[in-house]
């Protein structure tokens, strides 16, 4: 089938680009992990100072297992830093720590896009689990004929998949804004030398690109499924 060929082309392209960007991100972090901070501060200390400078005293900075597992949890107000970031004193750790605190600052200041994204989470959890199941079932039942039970099942799946795609695009301004807040603070407070700052900036740029790839990949799959449902049979 013509469209099925495109399915594998899209899947392959997404996987290839995602792998390339992820590999580049890891190499960047390894490189900038060797750029040690002149101020001698660890990622945990940088995170705590940025919280304090923004008047945020109800958020804890904690260590979490794994690599690149760093995140901010608005539910329990914790900045979770991977073990390397929490303990290390380099440009990469500074970038990640400040970025995650950037999310805490967004939360504290009721940043609209973060609030919108948070409200979508329960819906997205359901949509991500059901969308492709409904799409596959609907397509197998003959959704391309644009009639019958299979068509409506596929439409339901497409709507759910569109919700997950929207979520990936809403994530972009949230992530970029957190990075911008982090870099502005690092620069304005003279936390890093120019070399260290350049490394932190480059690290965050590549981290953001992983979200761009995810969003574009989700959009490509949404278009594919739309073609499959509304494009008619191409057997």
pLDDT digits (tens, 9 = 90+) for 8-40: 888 899 999 999 999 999 999 999 999 999 999
pLDDT at 234 over 70: no
pLDDT for the residue numbered 176: 98
In a domain, 205, yes or no: yes
**Other beta carbons within 10 Å of 58:** 8
Segment 209-228 shows an average pLDDT of: 94
pLDDT at 65 over 70: yes
In a domain, 167, yes or no: yes
pLDDT tens digits, 118-155? 999 999 999 999 998 999 898 888 766 667 788 999 99
In a domain, 125, yes or no: yes
Mean pLDDT taken over the chain: 92
pTM of the model: 0.88
In a domain, 51, yes or no: yes
**Other beta carbons within 10 Å of 163:** 16
Give residue 217's domain range.
2-230
Count structural domains, the chain. Answer: 1
Token readout for 49 is: 């100072």
Closest listed residue to residue 188, CA positions, set 28, 49, 81: 49
Compute, in degrees rounded to 10, the torsion defined by CA atoms 223, 224, 228, 233.
120
Closest listed residue to residue 80, CA positions, set 60, 55, 94: 60
pLDDT for the residue numbered 144: 63
In a domain, 19, yes or no: yes
In a domain, 235, yes or no: no
Lowest mean pLDDT, pick from 10-14, 70-74, 100-104: 10-14
R_g of the chain, CA atoms, integer Å: 21
pLDDT at 232 over 60: no
Q: Of residues 30, 45, 83, 100, which has the active-site annotation?
A: 100
Active site residue 100: yes
In a domain, 86, yes or no: yes
In a domain, 72, yes or no: yes
């Amino acid at each position: 089938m013509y469209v099925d060929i495109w399915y594998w082309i899209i899947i392959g392209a997404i996987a290839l680009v995602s792998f390339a960007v992820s590999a580049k991100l890891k190499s960047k972090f390894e490189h900038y992990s060797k750029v040690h901070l002149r101020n001698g501060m660890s990622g945990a200390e940088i995170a705590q100072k940025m919280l304090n400078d923004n008047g945020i005293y109800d958020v804890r900075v904690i260590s979490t297992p794994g690599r690149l597992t760093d995140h901010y949890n608005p539910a329990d107000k914790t900045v979770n830093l991977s073990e390397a970031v929490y303990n290390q004193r380099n440009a990469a750790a500074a970038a990640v720590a400040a970025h995650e605190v950037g999310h805490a600052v967004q939360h504290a200041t009721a940043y609209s896009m973060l609030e919108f994204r948070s409200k979508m989470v329960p819906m997205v959890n359901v949509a991500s689990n059901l969308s492709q199941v409904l799409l596959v079932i609907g397509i197998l039942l003959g959704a391309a004929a644009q009639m019958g039970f299979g068509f409506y099942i596929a439409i339901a799946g497409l709507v759910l998949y569109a919700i997950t795609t929207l979520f990936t695009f809403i994530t972009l301004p949230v992530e970029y804004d957190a990075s911008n807040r982090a870099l502005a603070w690092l620069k304005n407070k003279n936390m890093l030398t120019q070399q260290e700052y350049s490394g932190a900036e480059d690290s965050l740029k590549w981290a953001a690109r992983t979200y761009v790839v995810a969003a574009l990949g989700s959009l490509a799959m949404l278009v594919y499924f739309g073609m499959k449902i509304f494009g008619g049979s191409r057997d």
